[in-house]
Chain A
């Protein structure tokens, strides 16, 4: 995160505010209303050469990228993607940021040299309203009419030459998703970068900006002047909506989609995950064959390879989830899902737009919290951020699978296909969900009681998702995930390995109980003993504060030192070391506790301070401890004969 920030900043911060041609990069900002295809254009122009960070001091996302110019002697152009806005009236944070960047008063972001104003030409009358405040800035501006393919296929038209002469700015009719007309955007940027573009005053008079009805009338007149004919309504969108929003079929399809996504994440990713697991095991054995036994080999194989491998195994699942979310979002179905979910979400004090982030939180809370940016209502957004980590993320899965596999008998529960173990796993998912919505209700009826901001949801037309956009998304997600596995988790694994192998006694690594790690485990034991955990679990819990799944690797190395290396051995070791009460308590502890530094970091970034992540961490830890304590007591007293503390 910090590296993105630094890099996004450095591209622009190094430049002194002088007019030296060579030192200062040419900066072009992309601006447009929501759903105008702004991100698609940005991706089209920059490809993989982009970074995501936040604008300094606010929670608004800043995407900066570089576009390669075709001219051989030209420098790259720095592109800044601004948030989607309908106007520059500074009411929301998005609009304030856009205004500040355009005025050159955003620290660390230089004033743009030129603008790309992107508008949806299938709805030109409404989108042209934004042209008035943008053109009055008197910067070289290319007016991009996006969705040219839709306009044509639905029988609309516009005279771009006439529009250009009316507005006094060049106009390009393009399709960002198909790449049609993109060369005109490059030509414009080459021109402004070389300084050969001259500004022409608009032929039409710009309207008074504060008066929305008048701006709308102005946009209408400009459109009429350019012989704009609005396209016919999107027939396919209406046909599809009559199915997807059907009173009976609609919710049914909604449930099938959600269930299908889940099923595929679990079963579809399995072969890939098994493959990765085998790969790590085999390479571990391979290294053991090549290298002689040494402390270095132990660190490499037992520490790094098994620890990091245990985490990377989840990459297929996470990518699959993002693939689904990408398809749902790009196709336009996600807006319909938000519409269907709104009534239910409203019962918990949330709204339809919270549904998508919460579903994403089943994969990982970090992207889910980032996805809350689509929620305009600040309090609804905060509530969603605060409950998202309670949803069962994929990092909990290895812990659940290990404990359930060791302690829950594999007996049929409901028929042959639904066993006790699956039931327990489902139960934990339900538990997390119930805790999340209960917390939402609590928050929304107390500290986050909403001022009445209306729920407004634009329904975009259905579109085919493009492979390019889905691919970019997946690459971006893989990078984030692998960076985490390669940094935070790797660091914890190495530190832990060192703590396990020190202090050295007579040239030999100590018994685990006598090592520094063991000492830490023993130190926390009094606190966790009421939950039914011993000092070894304690080491696991301490290590899992960084990331939940680390506990599996940690327990693996701890018990590995005692001679059990494979997962069957680990299960057996746990069975002898943990009471059933302790096992259930451990599951419940993991369901509620916020053991994830990445989540803490992203919440801090998104809420702009330490107050909310601190509160969230305290609340979740308390909830986890308290519920685990109850679970341990209940299991001990109800099912098994009560034994006093040893």
Chain B
């Protein structure tokens, strides 16, 4: 029990300035995209769909089993697998995640 709480320490405190990936963002919270850690052509494809640095992304429902997950971004909904979402790096959040303003 003690072990667990120690391990989950950093994750439990969103104030800590640790860069999270989109895959780690819980459903309903929002994050601001910082950069796409992907090859150029794939990054461009995602940027055309709205995954642009500075844009707010809100994870929505996921398929049964948690994969792939739907993201609300730039006025539309796009599903990504976790392997892709884990290469989208979010800006370190200051304080708890803002409510979606989309």
A positions within 8 Å CB-CB of B: 86-87, 89, 91, 122-123, 125-126, 129, 212-213, 216, 230, 233, 241-242, 245, 247-248, 250-251, 339-340, 342-343, 346, 352, 452-459
Q: Residue of A at shortest CB range from B41?
A: A91
Tell whether A454 pairs with B84 under 8 Å between CB atoms, given A339-B68, A459-B77. Answer: yes
Q: Of A91, A125, A457, A459, which one neighbours B75 at CB under 8 angstroms? A: A125
CA distance A355 to B95 in the complex (A): 42
Contacts of A230 in B (CB 8 A): 75
Q: A129-B48, A251-B64 are in contact. Are A456 and B75 (CB under 8 A)?
A: no
Query: Which of B64, B78, B84: most chain A Cβ within 10 A?
Result: B64
Instruction: Encode contact with A along B73-102: 1 for CB under 8 Å, 0 otherwise.
Output: 011111111011000000000000000001
Does the CB pair A339–B63 fall under 8 Å? yes
Q: Are A126 and B76 in contact (CB under 8 A)?
A: yes
Chain B residues whose C-beta falls within 8 Å of the C-beta of A346 in the assembled complex: 81
Q: A456–B79 contact, CB under 8 A?
A: yes
Known: A339-B70, A454-B83. A122 touches B75 (CB 8 A): yes
| 9 residue pairs from A and B, CB less than 8 Å apart | A89-B44, A123-B76, A126-B49, A212-B47, A343-B63, A455-B80, A456-B78, A457-B78, A459-B76
**A129 to chain B: which residues have CB within 8 Å?**
48
Instruction: With both chains docked as a complex, state the minimum distance between the C-beta of A255 and any C-beta of chain B, in angstroms.
Output: 11
* Cross-chain contact A126 with B63 (CB below 8 angstroms): no
Complex CA gap A339/B79 in Å reads 8
A-B pairs with beta carbons under 8 A, tally: 100
CA distance A87 to B70 in the complex (A): 23
CA distance A216 to B51 in the complex (A): 11
Chain B residues, Cβ within 8 Å of A458: 49, 76-79
Contact between chains at B64 and A455 (CB < 8 Å): no
From A126, A212, A453, B42 is in contact (CB under 8 Å) with: A453
**Lowest 8 A-B CB distances belong to which pairs?**
A454-B84, A86-B48, A459-B77, A457-B79, A123-B75, A245-B61, A212-B47, A339-B63
Determine whether the beta carbon of B44 is less than 8 Å from that of A459: no
Q: Is the CB of A342 within 8 A of B81?
A: yes
**In the complex with contacts A126-B76, A242-B61, A343-B63, A454-B70 CB distance below 8 A:** no
A339 to B65 alpha-carbon distance, docked (Å): 11
Chain B, interface size category, equals 20 to 34
Which residue of A126, A339, A342 contacts B50 across the interface (Cβ within 8 Å)?
A126
B52 at the interface (CB under 8 A from A): yes
**B contact residues vs A (CB 8 Å cutoff):** 38, 41-42, 44-50, 52-54, 60-65, 67-68, 70, 72, 74-81, 83-84, 102
Tell me whether A245 and B70 are in contact (CB under 8 A).
yes
Q: Is the interface of B mostly helix, strand, loop or mixed?
A: mixed
Contacts of B81 in A (CB 8 A): 342, 346, 454-455
In the complex, chain B residues whose CB is within 8 Å of the CB of A233: 72, 102
Query: Contact check: which of A216, A343, A456, A457 meets B65 at CB < 8 Å?
Result: A343
Given A91-B44, A251-B64, A459-B78 contact (CB < 8 Å)? yes
Which residues of A sit under 8 angstroms from B74, Cβ to Cβ?
Answer: 123, 125-126, 216
Give Cα A458 to B77, complex, Å. Answer: 6
Q: Are A456's CB and B46's CB within 8 A?
A: yes
Partner of A459, one of B42, B54, B70, B84: B70
In the complex, chain B residues whose CB is within 8 Å of the CB of A213: 47, 52-54
**Do the beta carbons of B63 and A340 come within 8 Å of each other?**
yes
Complex CA distance for A250 and B63, rounded to whole angstroms: 8
Shortest C-beta distance, A568 to chain B (Å), equals 48
The interface residues of chain B lying within 8 Å CB-to-CB of A91 are 41, 44-45
Which residues from A are CB-within-8-Å of B78? Answer: 456-459
CB nearest to A341 among chain B residues? B63
Interface centre among B67, B68, B74, B80 (most CB of A within 10 A): B68
Whether the pair B80, A241 counts as a contact (CB closer than 8 A) is no
